[in-house]
Every structure is written in C-alpha cells, then in structure tokens.
Structure 1
Amino acid sequence: MAQRLLIMGPQGVGKGTQAALLAKHYGIPTISTGDIFRYNLKNGTPLGKQAQAYIDKGELVPDELTNSIVQDRLGMDDVQEGWILDGYPRSASQVEALDAMLKELKTPLTAVVALDADRAVLMERMKKRAQIEGRADDTPEAIAKRLDIYAKETEPLLDIYAQRGMLISIDGVGEVETISQHIIDQLDKRS
C-alpha cells in the first residue's frame, strides 16, 4: 500500500531524521518544502522566480504560491508510490489546499505522524545543532520564537487530523531507531 504521510512537529523534534528513515523503509521520497523552494529558486523555474520576488523584498512567500509549488511536486512521477511531506501544511488554509490537491490527484493521505518533545529538550537539541552546524540563525531567542510560532499556527492543525482519525502521535525523545520502529508499527497497524 502506498504511504502518503505528513510528518509534523516543532523544530528540533527530529522530523527530518525520521522522515529519512521512513522514506528508506517504504522506498518513497521525502518532500521538504524547504528543499522544493531551494530547487525552484536554484533552477529558475517560473514558480521559483515568483517566490524569489517575495524573498528579495524580505516578505514571506504567500500561501497560494507555496500551494502551487507543493502541488507541482506532488504531480511528479517519483511520488506515484507515495511520499512523506515535511514542512507543509502550516496553516488551516494550507490544509484545505492540500485536501483539494490530493482529491484532484486521487491520492488520499494515509496518516499524519506528529512528533513531540518537551520545550526544554527542543531548545537544548537546537542549541547543540547550532554549535555543530554553525547556524547563526539558531540563537536561543530565534529558537524560542520559532517554537512559539509553531505552537500558535501549526500545532492546532493536529486537531484537524485527529478529528479525521489520521493522527499518529509519537514521543520524539529516545533512540532514533526505536522512535522510527514505533512509527512504522503504528503505520503498519493501519494498513
């Protein structure tokens, strides 16, 4: 059965790591909205040029354009057997847009994997990541702000998916492989 998954959770919870392990396990690509944006910008696609105009002005790329970029990616050949979407949707309007895309593509969502961890754990993980990767944008203040934005804007979307019976909540603290196996076990129960 094709897996079409959303992976959600606050920054630093391990979404990227778990998405990569799930992608390998199921033989499907991970689609990170950040990667899609970088691809379109680097290759100067029409969508990338539109996004660049907003970025150059220091503005957020509007939902309509983000939705178009995601829809374009979900229509590509390599995702016919499934995908893992990381970083989208981030708002209620994006949930509606994704619902419409999946209906049009006749590719229903399988499940939403929500990773969670205590805020102090997330702050510590991102502080370590900033040191290892030399990320100047990962100051304690910036990290706290991003966690606040997630809690306010994206976390409420989990309720939408819970009401639909699609939410799998996973503790993002522990051994990486144990967390991954727990997710796979929960997904396999649904198949």
Structure 2
Amino acid sequence: MKKRKLSNQFLKNFLVIFLLAILDTILALMLLSFASRLIAGSLTKNRYPASAIIKDDYEQIDASAVVQNGGGVQIVDREYRVVYSKGLDTIGKDELTAEEFTAFLTESKSKPYHYDIVYKPKGEFWLIVTFPTSIRLDFSLVYNKEAAAGDFMRAGSAIAFVVLSYLLILALTAFIYSRITAASITVPLRKLCDG
C-alpha cells in the first residue's frame, strides 16, 4: 500500500517537473524576445541605419559616424560598381556581376555582419551600411495562408515533429530524474526495513 502511494507521489513529481520544464522553455523564449527589444535601440547597427544617412546624391552621404563606430559604407551603382567605399568593406571588389550582387544580397544573413541596404531610385544606387555582428540568433515564425497547401503541410509536419521530439526528450529526462529520485529514497528505506 505504501509503495503504491510512494509511486503515485513520484508520478506527480514527474508531471510537475515536466510542466515546469515546459514553462521554463516558454519563459526563456519570452525573455530572449524581451531582451532583444530592450537593447535594440542601443545597438550600433540600429543607431546608424542606411535610411537615416542616404541622400539623393551619394557624394553628399556622410559616412563618418558609421566609420567611427567600426562600420562601413559602400555605394553600388546600377552597373554593380562600388563607386564609394569608406570603413569596413566586406564586398572586397570594385565591381560585381549581377550574379555576385544577387548572391551578396541573398546570403547576407548568413555572414557575421549586419547589412542595412537601401536602394535610391532617383540616383540609381544601393547604399550598404555594414557593422560587425556581435551575436545574432535568427528565429521567426511566419504564416502565410497564400502558400501552397503542400508546403504548409510539410512545414507544419516539420514543426510538429520538432515540438513532439522536444516534448519526448523533456518527458524522458523528467522520467529518468523521477526514477533516480525514487531509487535514492526507496533503496535506503528497503535497507532500513531489512535491518
């Protein structure tokens, strides 16, 4: 009878640990989001956005504040030539092909730099403001009801698989913890009872 009560108590403890771990995960994600928003205004990359320094004539652009803070400014014209460069230069060329410039634009998130890029139609140029990234964790959940139904099902299945895997790992960890805790209590009690 007592063993059954003890077993039920450990099951309750297991469920409490499991629920607390889920709550901790949600809280950690919320805190990361809050901290990101809290420091966003103080990050150098956000104090000097391309939209704040762009001018109709690229020769009038003042890049001094960006350069003084460890960044760089490049101007790429409609022929994909780098016609102006000050400070940090991650392009490393005077001229790009359309393919190279497209690759630069599409792969910029995977590089350890923050790029803020603005196109000026009047002057027909791109202004690229670059700062080294300290730490970047990109995670976003986006839903678009216009996506192909098959894509939605595949993406939904992948997310469901990850969530279920996480919950399974969490449950397994909590179960192992409850078994270890149970053994650490019942084994010494059994030894005491046996004399």
TM-score by length of 1: 0.23
Q: Which has the higher contact order (CA 8 A, sep 6+)?
A: 1
